[in-house]
Amino acid sequence: MLGYLYAAALLATNVTAFGLYHLTGHFGMFHIAAIVSFATLVAALIPVITRRPKNSWLLSSL
């Protein structure tokens, strides 16, 4: 649960980084960092979301 909270906070940080465009008026290093951060967040969440249920771990080891 704490990991999902962290992922949501990181996603909110990425969204606010793209909001900085209106403040500066150009694409800067924070936007590049937000793109990299978002890509790694998605890459990390794919195995978490698509994992097998925990309750069948005993059946798969037999």
Report pLDDT digits (tens) over 1-32: 888 899 999 999 988 888 777 777 788 888 88
How many residues does the structure list for the chain? Answer: 62
Give pLDDT tens digits for 31-56: 888 899 999 999 999 988 887 666 66
Pick from 34, 6, 9, 8: which is nearest to 20 by CA?
34
Residue 36 is predicted with a pLDDT of 94
Amino acid 19: pLDDT: 79
The three-state secondary structure class of 19 is helix
Asked if residues 37 and 10 have their Cβ atoms less than 8 Å apart, the reply is yes
Residue bearing the bigger pLDDT, 60 or 24? 24
**Residue of higher predicted confidence among 59 and 4:** 4
